[in-house]
Amino acid sequence: MTEQQATGRTVDVVVTYDGERLGGTGPFPVVTRWWSDVTEIVAHLEALLGVPVVVLRLLRAHGGDGGRDGSVTYHAEALRRPRDGALREDAAGAGTDGLLGPAALRVDWATPEGLWSALTWAFGELGGGTAEQVRTWNLSGVFRMTPEDGRTVWLKTTSPRFNACEATVIRLFAAGDREFVPDVVAADTPRRRVLLGHVEGVNCYRAEPDVASAAVRRLAAAQAAIASATAPQGLRDLTPGTLIDRLPGLLDGEAGRDLTPAERAGARRLIARLPALIAELDACGLPHTVVHGDFHPGNWRSDGRRIVMIDFADSHFGHPVLDGLRPRDFLDDRSWEHAADAWVEAWSALVPGSDPRRALTVGAPLAHLLYAVRYQEFLDNIEPSERAYHEGDPAGEIRAALAGG
């Protein structure tokens, strides 16, 4: 479920067991670039220590960009006491002592107790089996589960503080297109835990024009089928009008401090124009509906026959133009042109008399402003050591909005 490319990432790890700091190891290189990808790290540690290990969280990162590459230090927990002499007492030690204590904003799956609770729940739902850790970061934890019957099931944990319940969102989208979403095997809604059936294929990071066009057409049809006047139960209302009250506070906080005085002044002028922009977007005639929230090609899987969207943690009730615009920054110019044309053609047919092409233009700055708010939610709800994933993102989105999207 992760993109794999040539690496620039080296890793250090601090290892604990049952509340005791045992030492550390590293630096050692890994192939995957993304800080959240931990499969190789777990394999390295288990070979070194001779016991099962889980990676709990990021402790610090130097260099790299956008959550990838650079030099990265993690906290890992041994599930049994490892053999003596495998770790160095001084490895990765400088500046990490205070980072191993409790933190008010730490997510459940970044603690031994919370992670084991999630696995215990999953094994109970599946009737046993094995688990392989794939990803952990401030936004989610992912395990590949193999029940006794040999199938693959994915355990995903997210935060109730700022993430949608993925099982709820999948159920809503399934009402519009059952084949466009994965199977929900089991769900623990209050704790934002879900077991999902495996989807064959690969993530479509380098989507060709035909794949991109098919994906946006499928989403538009599903969204039109489940459009409603009010937010479905269990889904947050993030329609464009909700930005009006939230953006001034964003500029008064750290996002505003990351902007130049001229940028802040421009952002305040843009905020003053929001009612007019929102009215213009409404006039394009598209309905509010369930929005995926992060509809980029990395969240599409395809086996050449079927396309399925995954990762619904950012989903909400809102304007579909957010999803229509999201692939733009992830596709080459040719694929984006085909995707945009397909989105416009789909919505034009689904809502006769609407103007989806105008919506793409009018909605662009509004989409960036909504992502600025969303990224600030991440920063407000994660512990300090993991802010490296998102620092500067709210200001970056505001700058993109000022540039016209």
Same domain, 318 and 193: no
Same domain for 234 and 142, yes or no, is no
Mean model confidence pLDDT for the chain: 93
Residue 301 is classified by DSSP as E
Which of 101, 121, 152 represents a domain boundary (last residue)?
101
Q: Identify the pLDDT of residue 2.
A: 37
| Domain count across the chain | 3
Is the bond leading into 297 cis (omega within 30 degrees of zero)?
A: no
Residue 16 lies in a domain: yes
The answer to whether residues 160 and 187 belong to one domain is yes
Residues 119 and 85 placed together within one structural domain of the fold: no
Query: Are the C-beta atoms of 51 and 23 separated by less than 8 Å?
Result: no
Q: What percent of the chain has pLDDT over 90?
A: 85
Considering 144, 165, 197, which residue would you say is the last residue of a domain?
A: 197
CA-CA distances (angstroms) from residue 222 to 131, 138, 202, 289, 349? 33, 30, 22, 9, 13
Q: State whether 211 and 341 are in the same domain.
A: yes
User: Which has the higher per-residue pLDDT, 218 or 8?
Assistant: 218
In a domain, 4, yes or no: no
Task: Measure the CA–CA gap between 131 and 47, rounded to whole angstroms.
Answer: 17
The answer to whether residue 382 is domain-embedded is yes
> How far apart are the C-alpha atoms of 188 and 168, rounded to whole Å?
11
Q: Are residues 191 and 223 in the same domain?
A: no
| 177 and 302 co-located in one domain | no
pLDDT at 1: 36
pLDDT in tens, 285-314: 999 999 999 999 999 999 999 999 999 999
Asked if residue 3 is part of any domain, the answer here is no
Own/partner long-range contacts of 181-184 (Cβ < 8 Å, ≥24 apart): 181/308, 181/309, 182/308, 182/310
Are residues 127 and 66 part of one domain? no
Residues 13 and 134 grouped into a single domain: no
CATH number at residue 157: 3.30.200.20
Q: State residue 6's pLDDT score.
A: 46
Summarize pLDDT for 192-244 with one digit per residue, the tens: 999 999 999 999 998 999 999 999 999 999 999 999 999 999 999 999 999 99
- For residue 329, give its domain range: 203-402
331 in Cβ contact with 341 (< 8 Å)? no
Confidence of residue 128 (pLDDT cuts 50, 70, 90): very high
Asked if residue 1 is part of any domain, the answer here is: no
Range 330-355 average pLDDT: 97
d(CA 66, CA 9): 12
Residue of 307, 239, 311, 314 whose CA lies nearest to 279 = 239
Give yes or no: residues 50 and 142 share one domain: no
